[in-house]
Amino acid sequence: LNPFFQAMESEISAAFDSGGPEDILSRAFKLTVTREDICTLQPLGWLNDRIMNFYMGLLVERSKKEGYPAVYAFNTFFYSKLSSTSHKGVKKWTKGVDIFEHDVILVPIHLRIHWTLLVVDLREKTIKYFDSLGQKGDHICKTVLKYLEEESREKRNIELTASEWTLHSMGTEEIPQQNNGSDCGVFVCKFADFISRDKPIIFTPEHMPYFRRKMVWEIIHQQLL
């Protein structure tokens, strides 16, 4: 291993092992990440909201650079609030933001004990649902399309034409699938990473241990490799 990777490896190990669970290891996007949060990135750990939201923040930050699609990411509490209250309950979440000025909207979704991702591509007028356990999310796509219609009407006074939109739950042959009960959060983060670079999703479950360690370094340094 070259010296850079050796230094990275020792930093990652130290993040897991040296210090107390309450130690703050990173702070950005109005979030603080503690050692306890970082430890969810250990093998077979189940990623928590703080890690998911911090990583989405890093993707949005990167999208401000030239050559990347403009990305907006909702936080992990958005969809559960939307599905229980409709547009009324979340309309303040986009105060001062026109989500329609972006290319891609990421919606990480927490389904009790499973993470999935919904992606709105405003350029293509598509809403796609990514689930690494292969479950369909057609009703989730419809809920978000209805939200977009109401948001557009309320914020821009523009009617969206629902019939122009394509809604699609990605099939098990289209995207990689997890082979354990704990990697769903990492899959969601990496689906979002590849999509927010307009790259085809070509990773496999075998990449998960590497992705977990890489994410530790990226979160601590607030910088995507």
Question: And the tokens for 102?
Answer: 């972006």
For residue 119, the SS3 value is strand
Question: And the tokens for 90?
Answer: 């979340």
221 catalytic per annotation: no
Burial class (CB in 10 A: 0-12, 13-18, 19+), 208: buried
Catalytic-labelled residue, pool 114, 121, 168, 207: 114
- Amino acid 18 reads S
DSSP for 36-62 reads HHHGGGSTT----HHHHHHHHHHHHHH
Catalytic-labelled residue, pool 37, 102, 110, 131: 131
207 catalytic per annotation: no
Q: How far apart are the first and last CA of the chain?
A: 17
Catalytic-labelled residue, pool 183, 184, 189, 193: 184
87 catalytic per annotation: no
Q: Which residues are catalytic?
A: 114, 131, 184
